[in-house]
Amino acid sequence: MWTQKEVTIAPRPRGFHLVTREILKQVPEVHSFRIGLMHVFIKHTSASLTINENADPTVRSDFENFFNHLVPEDQAYYEHTLEGSDDLPAHFKSSILGNAVSVAITNGELNLGTWQGIYLCEHRNLGGVRNLVVTIHGEVWEK
């Protein structure tokens, strides 16, 4: 069985934010799959998705600090600057981290590791609402 749904993630400030619960709240269909795969795609070029540590919030702030160091703003050689100094670096960060994640579903639950969660990586100072396409494929529970 296949199912697909577009979900919205509330605006977040720039940084790395756990959104696993917010996604699951909008996609309760996950629980009807005995085995499957959930693919999450973000429809934006200045935000990204990744899976990482879900317990210690300093990991998320360290991610933000690392990527700001890796891709600095206000470089003289940047040409794409009309939308502000955070825009082109946001595109770079989005390409580096990626626009999708996939997670196995086992017995109606996401089969993430003990300390794993899905991050929305917001790379703009004022990114706004983010839209995700969640596609699930798998075998549903027999009735």
Q: Which residue has the tokens 């470089």?
A: 75
Residue 80, judged by CB atoms within 10 A of its CB (0-12, 13-18, 19+), counts as: exposed
**What are the chain's domains?**
2-74+81-140 (2.60.120.460)
Laid out side by side, the sheet with 109-110 consists of: 2-9, 130-140, 33-42, 100-106, 109-110
Model pLDDT, residue 143: 65
User: Tens digit of pLDDT per residue, the chain (143 long)?
Assistant: 999 999 999 999 999 999 999 999 999 999 999 999 999 999 999 999 999 999 999 999 999 999 999 999 999 999 999 999 999 999 999 999 999 999 999 999 999 999 999 999 999 998 999 999 999 999 998 86
